[in-house]
Amino acid sequence: MIRLLQIEFIKLWNNRASKFLIFAYFTLILCMALIAMIRIDRPPIVFNIADQGIFNFPYIWHLNTWIASWLKLFFAIVIVSMTANEYSNKTIKQNLIDGLSKKEFLMSKFLMVISFSILSTIFVFLVSLILGLLYSDFNEISIIFSDLSYFLGYFVKLVGFFSLCLFLGLLVKRSAFALGFLILWWGIFENLIIRFSAWWLFGKEGSEKVMHFMPLEAMSNLIVEPITKFKAVKSISTQLGANLSIDYAVHWYNILIVLGWTTIFIYLSYALLKKRDL
Amino acid sequence: MNTILTVSNLTKKFGPLVAVNNLSFTIEKGNVYGILGPNGSGKSTTLGIVLNVVNRTAGEFSWFNGATTTHDALKKVGAIIERPNFYPYMTALQNLKLVCKIKEVPTAKIAEKLELVGLLDRKDSKFKTYSLGMKQRLAIASALLNDPEILILDEPTNGLDPQGIHQIREIIKKIASQGTTILLASHLLDEVEKVCSHVVILQKGVKLYAGSVDQMLASFGFFELRTSQEQNLITYLEKDVRFSSIKNEDGLITAYPKEDLSAEELNKTLYEKGIILSHLSKRKESLEEQFLTLTKNAKN
């Protein structure tokens, strides 16, 4: 297993573009701390975002995992191009000839996905922990370590999304097309075709239910947007008469759905690898 | 005998096209094999199948008498298929380190192998900056990293300039002289003739011949003769039962013996008959002639 990870690491780390993207990814997560710096100090308007309670435990876990999950696109590009380039450089052929089995080839990529997701989860946790310790109004241990389920959601979300990218890279074999395909899938396939055909067939509620099972929708359901949960936004919306009752928690069935898709994507990738002549 | 590779009844179909048809042969340790055949005769497909990159339609193959799985066996094989495939953004050294990792061999031999192919001073250059000849030589170095039991080369001189072709051939000869089993696929007959002791000849996926180069045609070679007494010689040869056919091309007489006949013996006989030769040479058909005969016979 270590050997497979090392193999993938050599491929990844010697590529300047991927190294840059990975650096950019972690730097941007670090930059979340900069949000704390936003302050308007011009009386009568004195506004400091850090004082607005967005860094309060456990809200910060939700907010930061949600923000950080947008950045997953950076590593998605890395995964897609690394997989697709194996085909365009024909290095996958050479890897197999050199004695890597098809299963090992896929496993080395998947292990990289898992390790990167673990790393990212830990990193987001540490950054949020430090921010929270600096700015949170509540510092009791029991509060700090509540709602950690967002990190499980975050981790599963990354693994699921990267597995989809891995599969698309293998399927399409061209990185630009694979990324285009990803956007098409999200925009056209999931959000237009499936959503509206389900709407037409089963009505509004039925459509919601069906959408729950779509891969990208399920991934985004893992961590629901935290903006409306924020008390300032909440009070404004209550004043406007909108009664927002959104379930913000990370649900086990969403985790199961995403893990299910992950298994499907990895299995399909393996079937594809096995079937194809190179 | 030490069998390295056994292929039995291997078949590969691409849709309606049969690329490899019921092919069987074995590779024994220590010989240099050539797989010959025109373009599209199934050479690369056959190699692709035994190297685990092309799925077979039917038939079997086994490495080292089936003692290990295919991908583990491939760690003891060195192979170069058509075009050298490496990570363009990595240096030669980084690429070879990756290969070592895949083959599970220590990285200690990298410098030695780069030296062998003359690339040691360019080891820190990115692969994409290499010329085709250098890429091909790097591929050979990579294939040798594990000191393979067998080296498989598919069209190793394809697309190279004469100098590059010469360099590659020198390297192959050097490796062959060290006792490594080599399997060389090519449509360049002189290339195979120069290094191979055994051949497998394919045409349209069908095996025409497998065996040693010497026994390829049941032939005793031919004599090329020249003399001022042309008519006497022809008359004599036509009467001699040891010869099957005679050809005369502008005074160069070619005679094909039916049995094993040495040049000395023929010279002696002719001298006794009063025919003095100005030119006598005994030759074997070149691989090219034998190959053309074989493929022509197969067509008829």
Q: Which of B55, B89, B97 sits opposite A277 (nearest CB)?
A: B55
In chain A, count of helices (H) and strands (E)? Answer: 13, 2
Rounded average pLDDT over A4-13: 92
Q: Is the peptide bond before A44 cis (omega within 30 degrees of 0)?
A: yes
Q: Which residue has the higher pLDDT, B173 or B214?
A: B173
Signed CA dihedral, B162, B163, B164, B168: sign only: positive
Residues of chain A with Cβ-Cβ distance to B13 below 8 Å are none
Residue B65, pLDDT score: 87
Residue A273, pLDDT score: 94
The CB-side HSE value for A62 (13 A sphere, CA atoms) comes to 22
Close Cβ partners of B290 (under 8 Å, ≥ 6 residues apart): B216, B217, B219
Residues of chain B with Cβ-Cβ distance to A102 below 8 Å are 52
Residues of chain A with Cβ-Cβ distance to B138 below 8 Å are none
Helices (H), B127-245: 132-144, 162-177, 189-195, 230-239
What chain A residue is nearest to B79 in terms of C-alpha separation? A97
In this structure, the dihedral spanned by the alpha carbons of residues B58, B63, B66 and B70, taken in order and rounded to 10 degrees, is -70
| Per-residue pLDDT reduced to its tens digit, B214-228 | 777 656 788 888 888
Any chain B CB within 8 A of the CB of A205?
no
Residues of chain B with Cβ-Cβ distance to A112 below 8 Å are none
Is residue B182 within 8 Å of residue B150, measured between CB atoms? Answer: yes
Residue A237, pLDDT score: 67
| Per-residue pLDDT reduced to its tens digit, B26-55 | 998 888 898 888 888 888 899 999 998 999
- Residues of chain B whose C-beta is under 8 A from some C-beta in A? 48, 51-55, 69-75, 77, 79, 81, 83, 85-91, 94, 97-99, 101-104, 142
| Per-residue pLDDT reduced to its tens digit, A224-251 | 887 777 666 666 666 766 655 677 788 8
User: Which of A100-109, B76-85, B250-259 holds the top average pLDDT?
Assistant: A100-109
What chain B residue is nearest to A2 in terms of C-alpha separation? B101
Q: What is the ipTM of this complex?
A: 0.84
Contact B90 A99 (CB under 8 A): no
Residue B249, pLDDT score: 85
Rounded average pLDDT over B2-19: 90
Residue B167 to chain A, least CA–CA distance (Å): 23
| Per-residue pLDDT reduced to its tens digit, B101-127 | 999 999 999 999 999 888 999 999 999
Residue count of chain A, please give it: 278
| Per-residue pLDDT reduced to its tens digit, A129-167 | 988 888 888 878 888 888 889 999 999 999 999 999 999
Q: Is the pLDDT of residue B179 over 60?
A: yes
Q: What rounded mean pLDDT belongs to chain A?
A: 86
| Per-residue pLDDT reduced to its tens digit, A172-206 | 998 889 888 888 888 888 888 888 888 888 888 88
B11-33 per-residue burial string, b: 16 or more CB within 10 A, e: under 16: bbeeeeebbbbebebebeeebbb
Q: Which residue has the higher pLDDT, B14 or A241?
A: B14
Beta bridge partners, B18, equal: B13
Token reading at B21: 């048809």
Rounded average pLDDT over A99-111: 94
Residues of chain A with Cβ-Cβ distance to B83 below 8 Å are 90
> Which residue has 């790393």 as its token pair?
A119
User: What secondary structure letter does DSSP report for B284?
Assistant: P
Question: Rounded to an integer, what distance in angstroms lies between the CA atom of residue A182 and that of residue A112?
Answer: 20
Measured between alpha carbons, how far apart are the two ends of chain A, in Å? 25
Q: Which residue has the higher pLDDT, A255 or A229?
A: A255
